[in-house]
Amino acid sequence: AQLVGPLRKELADSLSSCRVLVVGAGGIGCELLKNLVLTGFKNIEVIDLDTIDVSNLNRQFLFQKKHVGKSKAQVAKESVLRFCPSANITAYHDSIMNPDYNVEFFRNFQLVMNALDNRAARNHVNRMCLAANIPLIESGTAGYLGQVTVIKKGKTECYECQPKPTQKTFPGCTIRNTPSEPIHCIVWAKYLFNQLFGEEDADQEVSPDTADPEAAWNPADAAARATASEQDGDIKRVSTKEWARSTGYNPVKLFNKLFKDDIMYLLTMDKLWKKRKAPVPLDWTEIQQLACSQDDVCGSGLKDQQVLGVQGYAQLFQCSVETLRSQLKEKGDGAELVWDKDDPPAMDFVTAAANLRMHVFSMNMKSRFDVKSMAGNIIPAIATTNAVIAGLIVLEGLKILNSDFEQCRTIFLNKQPNPRKKLLVPCALDPPNPNCYVCASKPEVTVKLNVHKTVVLALQDKILKEKIGMVAPDVQIEDGKGTILISSEEGETEANNNKFLSDFGIRNGSRLQVDDFLQDYTLLVNVLHSEDLEKDVEFEVVGDAPEKAPGPSAPEEGKSIANGSNDSAQPSTSSKAAADDDDVLIVDSDEEPTSSTMETSPDTSNRKRKHQDADTDDAASKRKRVDQHPAQDDDDIIALD
């Protein structure tokens, strides 16, 4: 056969004519774009909503200091064209979930390659590729771990066929600007500890993110804000630690900056609060004047399980800052503290700061025990892991273009060699899950809720959009009359928003037909009325839930959150890591396993592992530990980049 470089001529010709969509231009995306053009791909379109942050520069090699604040997709295109000018690259500074990128848009491509950092976008691209019947290559990394898999309608599991653990990595702008869950506030407080007392890390910025892409849809606006104080690309930022030192680590000044001044600044970014509840600033003096009960200050019950009031956490914040300031002073100039969940002052600081931020953003506050169980080690981003995974994506793409789909595999990159001394372990692709609520022939799901307490807006935003991942749902009640409950046309059913489901005759056993025309997706929702849901639980998706994963039988201490990678949690982009992975092994046998057999079972001696998910922010994978003792410090969830 005639060769063009290392490829057969027929395959080389396929590459030069093939149209590829790359979704994401961050850690994996930069490596992937480089690999694609050097392999011979000529027609590439890349889309990314994010702008470049200074902390991206240590691994996203297509970007330089002068590019800070600019569109990732556009700069990536320009950088690639400098070493491969013959490539035809189109860049979009936009969200892949924008309705402009509909099923017809996806049908323009022979391959779609994901290099994403969040679960919602992954779910959306998965559905668009299923609707367009286009092969999707999914990927993710976390630290030294990574995975690549291929998704093809009717032949393999789709991205949502298997339950996923709750997302453990989050976009940086969520952490800094728009936290919506307690875990976001806990990660922020952990970052704050390092910014004030530990080793400063640009990946762990806590101040409001002025370059948040959601706050300004005009790329020029985002770039202007990001470079407002960085003339000529000379990055000059006021160090949080330097500012704190200049105040003598004054707890009151720290408090007012973090929970009053920064929050008031966030309120000026009014686009963020059009569809969200705005935060409420806290003032130290006003809090001290509040009349509160003894329980608000001291709590009741076991110390670690107490949930204090705002005044109690303000006092805890003050005491912990004073103690940590003394520890820092004892160590001398230039000293740094290392956060440890078993160090009482450090744990007090994170508990107080996280809870005060939860209060600011109208969330239920958490006990010290809960905070400790969620906070832990941060998984760093590793450039070489991204490079390996990007190479594997291209290899799987070559198999598809070579009509060798039967040779496609799910491939896991491990931190340590397995018993057969392999770091890369391929597994046969699994067939579709017949009960999947996304790719089954007739998707169906059951939602347990209280029809007398759940309003239509909660059904739309919290269940259909946030939990099930729809973008613009239309809902019709199967009541024989075809009652329209929710319309994606603006203003058409707004009058229904604050009415209870029971007001429309919805009761136990009612069925709702939900259509998302953008995703070309229809879902039948069975309503299961319940009046005994747990406290603070508004609903449960029963059965094959999109992000509902079986948890360990007992709560484990020492759960850590992976948020160190900018590809998974950085300001401009919108986990648990096992402390010791020696006992979590992937076992090779002579017969090639499928990815679903790579799952650890607590009652088997030779255990196999499956990374169930790969989220760059949310490539999350779940690994069940061999020894699941509640007090063990090892963690059971690893989030992938």
Q: Is the separation of the CB atoms in 611 and 582 below 8 Å?
A: no
User: Is 158 labelled a binding residue?
Assistant: yes
User: Is 117 labelled a binding residue?
Assistant: yes
User: Is 58 labelled a binding residue?
Assistant: yes
**Under DSSP, is residue 567 helix (H, G, I), strand (E, B) or coil?**
helix
User: Is 48 labelled a binding residue?
Assistant: yes
User: Is 119 labelled a binding residue?
Assistant: yes
Name residue 24's amino acid.
G
**From the CA atom positions of the chain, what is the Rg in Å?**
25
Which residues contact residue 57 at a Cβ distance below 8 angstroms, ignoring those fewer than 6 apart?
63, 64, 65, 68
Q: Which of 133, 149, 121 is nearest to 23 (CA)?
A: 121
User: Is 211 labelled a binding residue?
Assistant: no
User: Is 121 labelled a binding residue?
Assistant: yes
Output the CA angle 526-529-534, nearest 5 degrees.
120
Residues paired with 542 in a beta bridge: 446
The CA distance from 599 to 585, in Å, is 10
User: Is 28 labelled a binding residue?
Assistant: yes
Tokens of 457: 């807006």
Long-range interactions of 503-507: CB distance < 8 A, separation 24+: 504/456, 504/477, 505/477, 505/479, 506/451, 506/477, 507/451
User: Is 364 labelled a binding residue?
Assistant: no
Tokens of 427: 């597994």
Q: Is 129 a catalytic residue?
A: no
User: Is 228 labelled a binding residue?
Assistant: no
User: Is 312 labelled a binding residue?
Assistant: no
User: Is 300 labelled a binding residue?
Assistant: no
User: Is 25 labelled a binding residue?
Assistant: yes
Q: Is the separation of the CB atoms in 32 and 394 below 8 Å?
A: yes
User: Is 436 labelled a binding residue?
Assistant: yes
User: Is 440 labelled a binding residue?
Assistant: no
Q: Exactly one of 18, 30, 173, 185 is catalytic; which is it? A: 173
The CA distance from 157 to 637, in Å, is 21
Which residues contact residue 608 at a Cβ distance below 8 angstroms, ignoring those fewer than 6 apart?
586, 587, 593, 597, 598, 599, 600
Q: Is the separation of the CB atoms in 578 and 638 below 8 Å?
A: yes
The CA distance from 189 to 198, in Å, is 12
User: Is 29 labelled a binding residue?
Assistant: yes
- φ, ψ of residue 235 in degrees (nearest 5): -70, 110
What's the burial of 432, exposed, middle or buried (CB within 10 Å: 0-12/13-18/19+)?
A: buried
The CA distance from 174 to 170, in Å, is 7
User: Is 319 labelled a binding residue?
Assistant: no
User: Is 605 labelled a binding residue?
Assistant: no
Task: Please give, one letter per residue, the 3-state secondary structure of 261-284.
Answer: HHHHHHHHCHHHHCCCCCCCCCCH
Tokens of 523: 């879902």
**Under DSSP, is residue 171 helix (H, G, I), strand (E, B) or coil?**
coil
User: Is 26 labelled a binding residue?
Assistant: yes
Q: Is the separation of the CB atoms in 424 and 146 below 8 Å?
A: no
User: Is 292 labelled a binding residue?
Assistant: no
User: Is 96 labelled a binding residue?
Assistant: yes
Q: Which of 438, 432, 418 is nearest to 606 (CA)?
A: 418
User: Is 439 labelled a binding residue?
Assistant: yes
Q: In what order do the strands lie in the sheet with 483-486?
A: 483-486, 473-477, 511-516, 521-529, 444-449, 539-542
Q: Which residue has the tokens 């991206």?
A: 56
User: Is 248 labelled a binding residue?
Assistant: no
Q: End-to-end CA distance of the chain: give it in Å, rounded.
A: 39
User: Is 334 labelled a binding residue?
Assistant: no
- φ, ψ of residue 4 in degrees (nearest 5): -120, 100
Known binding residues for ATP are: 24-29, 48, 56-59, 72, 95-96, 117-122
Known binding residues for Zn(2+) are: 158, 161, 436, 439
Known binding residues are: 24-29, 48, 56-59, 72, 95-96, 117-122, 158, 161, 436, 439
| Catalytic annotation, residues | 173
